[in-house]
C-alpha cells in the first residue's frame, strides 16, 4: 500500500517537473490579485452606468414636469440678462474711457494775422473738447487786419494786432471751449501791456472779458460758454485822446521826478487810489475800459460806470477866485489856504507836498511860451525841450522840470506849481494834471451834469 502511494507521488512529481532536491517557488501576490482588481473595475463601471441612468431619468422628469421646466427656464433667462447687462456695462465703460481719451487729446484750430511785410503780428488758437457741440458744423475762425469801420466803433480804443471773426458763431456749445489771443512785441508800441483788455463785439459795442493775461508770453486766455462774432485785444488810446493834457511828461523828460508806487500802473499812485476810492490792484476799477488815471485827468470818475463826471462823486470840490476870476477843481480832502496872491492846496497827509497857484503880471500881454522864454534872457535855454498843453482853450507852457505850468491870459500869468520840497518821488502828479485840466477863466462855476445827462452824452458820443 505504501509502495503504491510512493509511486503515485513520484509520478506526480514527474508530471509537474519537480524533483526532490528542488525548492518550491510561490507566485507573487500582485499577480494573484489581478482577478480581484478586475472584479472591482466591474463594480466601478456599474456604478457609473447607474449614475448616468439616474441623471437621464431625472432629466426626463424635468422635461415632463411643468414647474421644474419653468424654474430652469427662468434661471437660464436670468443668467442671460445678467450677461447682457455685464456686456453693456463693459461697452459703456469702453465708451467713457474713449471719451476721456478724446477730452485729453482736444482738437485745436489756429489762425494768425500778418502785416504788410508778411510777418505774423497776432495769432489765435481755439481748443475744442470732445462733444463740445451737437452740431455737425465745424467751428471756423478768420484773422484779419481791422477795417477802418472798426476803429469808429469806439474812437477811444486802439486794436492790438487785429480782429478774429467766427464765421459760425451761432453754434450752441455743450462744453466750454478755450480761446487764446496773442500778439507780437513789435506792435505794443508805447502802450503799457497792463492796460490791454480782451473784448468781443456785440450790438456795435465792445464788451470786455475777464480773461487771464500772460504778459511774459503776450497772450490772453479765456473760457467761452457761447460764441460771439468778433474778438480782439483793445487798449485805451490814452495819448491820442487826453483832453488838453495830451502829453505824458514822464516819458518826454526823464529828469522829471517820478511818482511813488503805482501798483497797477494805471496812472494813479497808491496814495491817490486811497483818496479816490479805487482798487490799487486793478488798473480799471469800474471795468469801463479806461485806466483810472486817464479818467481822473479827464475829469471822469474812476469808480462809477461809464464816463461819469468827477465833480458829481463827492471826491472833489471847486475853488472859485473872485479877485482873479477863475475856478479850479481840487481834492475834497485837501486843505486850502489863501496867502496874498497865492492859493495853496495841501494834502491831508504830511508829505511836504503842495500845489500852489500864483498870479503874476504880464503887462506886455505876451503869450505863455514867449513870457517863459523872456525869463531866461540871460541864461541858455534849449527851447526844443519846452512842452505845451491846453487849458480852457489857451496854450500854456511847462517848465523844464515839468513841475510848473504857465498860462497867459490878457495881462496876467497864471502859474501852477507843484511844490515837492526835498522829495525824490511825487504822490499827486495825476491830481496836479487833473487840476490844471479843470481850470476855467472868468466864468461862473458851471452846473455839474447829472448821471442821466452823462449817460445821454455818452450815447451821443
Which string of DSSP letters, residue by residue, matches 263-319?
A: TT-SS--HHHHHHHT--TT-SSTT-SSS-HHHHHHTTB-SSSSSS-BGGGSSSEEEE
Q: Is residue 135 part of a domain?
A: yes
Q: Is residue 165 part of a domain?
A: yes
Cα distances (Å, whole numbers) of residue 162 to 152, 188, 202: 14, 12, 17
- In the chain the first and final C-alpha atoms are separated, in Å, by 164
Q: 441 and 334 in contact (C-beta within 8 Å)?
A: no
Q: Are residues 183 and 114 in the same domain?
A: yes
Q: What is the pLDDT along the chain (461 residues), one digit of tens a residue?
A: 545 545 544 554 444 444 444 454 444 544 444 444 555 566 666 666 766 666 555 554 544 555 555 555 565 565 565 666 666 666 666 655 554 544 455 688 999 999 888 899 999 999 888 888 888 888 889 999 988 788 777 777 889 999 999 988 888 888 888 999 999 998 888 788 888 999 999 887 888 888 999 988 999 999 998 889 999 999 887 544 433 333 343 433 445 688 899 888 888 999 999 999 999 888 888 877 788 898 999 899 999 877 889 999 999 999 999 899 999 999 999 999 998 789 999 998 888 899 999 999 999 999 999 999 988 876 777 888 888 999 999 999 999 888 999 999 999 999 999 999 888 899 999 999 999 999 999 755 444 444 444 444 444 43
Kindly state the cell numbers that stand for 59: 432629466
* Domain count within the chain: 2
Phi, psi of 17 (to 5 degrees): 70, 40
Q: Are residues 197 and 262 in the same domain?
A: no
Give the domain-ending residue among 236, 256, 285: 236
Q: Are residues 270 and 151 in the same domain?
A: no
**CA proximity to 111, closest of 186, 163, 172, 178:** 163
Q: Are residues 227 and 371 in the same domain?
A: no
Spatial neighbors of 411 by CB under 8 A, at least 6 apart, are: 361, 362, 363, 365
Q: Are residues 148 and 117 in the same domain?
A: yes
Q: Is residue 18 part of a domain?
A: no
Q: What share of the chain is helix, strand, coil (3-state, %, to 5)?
A: 35, 25, 40
Spatial neighbors of 408 by CB under 8 A, at least 6 apart, are: 362, 365, 366, 367, 368, 371, 394, 396, 414
Could you give the count of Cα atoms lying within 13 Å of 424 in the half-sphere of its Cβ? Answer: 0
**CA proximity to 430, closest of 307, 278, 248, 263:** 248
Q: Are residues 186 and 265 in the same domain?
A: no
Instruction: Say which DSSP state 352 is in.
Output: S
Write the burial class of residue 42 (CB in 10 Å: 0-12 exposed, 13-18 middle, 19+ buried): exposed
Kindly state the cell numbers that stand for 220: 490772453
Angle between helices 34-64 and 66-104 (to 10 degrees): 90
Q: Are residues 299 and 174 in the same domain?
A: no
Q: Are residues 173 and 295 in the same domain?
A: no
Q: 206 and 228 in contact (C-beta within 8 Å)?
A: no
Give the domain-ending residue among 204, 236, 268: 236
Name the strand (E) or helix (H) holding 110. strand 107-114
Q: Is residue 13 part of a domain?
A: no
- The β-bridge partners of 300 are 309
Question: Residue 139 is part of which domain span?
Answer: 107-236
Counts for the chain of helices (H) and strands (E), in that order:
12, 20
Q: Are residues 215 and 258 in the same domain?
A: no
Q: 80 and 88 in contact (C-beta within 8 Å)?
A: no
Q: Are residues 410 and 287 in the same domain?
A: yes
Kindly state the cell numbers that stand for 400: 523844464
Q: Are residues 271 and 194 in the same domain?
A: no
Q: Are residues 118 and 165 in the same domain?
A: yes
- The β-bridge partners of 412 are 361, 409
Output the domain CATH number for residue 186: 2.60.220.30
Please, where are the H alpha helices in 338-450? 368-374, 429-438
Write the burial class of residue 126 (CB in 10 Å: 0-12 exposed, 13-18 middle, 19+ buried): buried
Give the domain-ending residue among 221, 236, 251: 236
Q: Is residue 76 part of a domain?
A: no
Amino acid at each position: 500500500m505504501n509502495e503504491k502511494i510512493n509511486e503515485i507521488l513520484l509520478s506526480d512529481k514527474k508530471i509537474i517537473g519537480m524533483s526532490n532536491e528542488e525548492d518550491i517557488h510561490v507566485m507573487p501576490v500582485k499577480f494573484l490579485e489581478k482577478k480581484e482588481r478586475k472584479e472591482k473595475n466591474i463594480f466601478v463601471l456599474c456604478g457609473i452606468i447607474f449614475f448616468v441612468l439616474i441623471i437621464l431619468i431625472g432629466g426626463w422628469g424635468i422635461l415632463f414636469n411643468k414647474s421644474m421646466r419653468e424654474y430652469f427656464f427662468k434661471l437660464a433667462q436670468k443668467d442671460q440678462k445678467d450677461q447682457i447687462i455685464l456686456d453693456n456695462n463693459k461697452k459703456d465703460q469702453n465708451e467713457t474711457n474713449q471719451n476721456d481719451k478724446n477730452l485729453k487729446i482736444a482738437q485745436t484750430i489756429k489762425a494768425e494775422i500778418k502785416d504788410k511785410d508778411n510777418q505774423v503780428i497776432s495769432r489765435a488758437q481755439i481748443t475744442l473738447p470732445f462733444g463740445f457741440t451737437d452740431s455737425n458744423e465745424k467751428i471756423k475762425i478768420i484773422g484779419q487786419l481791422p477795417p477802418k469801420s472798426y476803429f469808429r466803433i469806439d474812437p477811444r480804443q486802439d486794436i492790438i494786432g487785429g480782429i478774429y471773426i467766427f464765421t459760425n458763431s451761432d453754434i450752441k456749445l455743450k462744453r466750454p471751449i478755450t480761446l487764446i489771443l496773442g500778439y507780437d512785441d513789435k506792435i505794443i508800441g508805447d502802450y503799457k501791456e497792463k492796460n490791454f483788455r480782451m473784448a468781443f463785439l456785440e450790438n456795435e459795442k465792445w464788451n470786455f472779458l475777464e480773461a487771464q493775461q500772460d504778459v511774459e508770453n503776450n497772450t490772453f486766455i479765456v473760457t467761452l460758454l457761447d460764441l460771439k462774432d468778433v474778438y480782439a485785444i483793445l487798449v485805451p488810446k490814452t495819448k491820442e485822446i487826453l483832453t488838453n493834457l495830451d502829453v505824458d511828461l514822464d516819458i518826454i523828460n526823464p529828469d522829471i521826478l517820478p511818482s511813488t508806487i503805482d501798483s497797477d500802473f494805471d496812472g494813479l499812485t497808491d496814495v491817490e487810489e486811497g483818496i479816490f476810492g479805487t482798487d490799487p490792484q486793478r488798473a480799471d476799477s469800474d471795468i469801463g475800459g479806461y485806466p483810472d488815471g486817464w479818467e481822473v485827468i479827464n475829469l471822469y470818475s474812476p469808480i462809477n460806470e461809464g464816463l461819469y463826471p468827477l465833480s458829481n462823486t463827492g471826491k472833489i470840490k471847486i475853488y472859485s477866485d473872485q479877485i482873479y476870476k477863475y475856478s479850479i477843481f481840487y481834492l475834497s480832502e485837501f486843505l486850502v489856504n489863501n496867502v496874498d496872491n497865492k492859493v495853496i492846496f495841501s494834502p491831508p497827509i504830511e508829505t511836504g507836498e503842495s500845489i500852489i497857484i500864483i498870479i503874476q503880471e504880464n503887462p506886455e500881454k505876451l503869450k505863455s511860451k514867449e513870457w517863459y522864454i523872456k525869463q531866461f534872457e540871460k541864461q541858455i535855454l534849449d527851447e526844443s525841450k519846452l512842452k505845451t498843453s491846453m487849458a480852457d482853450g489857451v496854450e500854456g507852457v511847462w517848465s523844464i522840470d515839468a513841475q510848473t505850468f504857465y498860462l497867459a491870459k490878457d495881462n496876467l500869468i497864471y502859474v501852477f506849481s507843484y511844490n515837492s520840497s526835498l522829495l525824490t518821488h511825487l504822490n499827486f502828479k495825476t491830481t496836479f494834471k487833473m487840476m490844471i485840466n479843470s481850470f476855467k477863466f472868468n466864468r461862473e462855476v458851471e452846473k455839474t451834469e447829472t448821471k442821466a445827462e452823462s449817460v445821454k452824452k455818452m450815447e451821443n458820443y
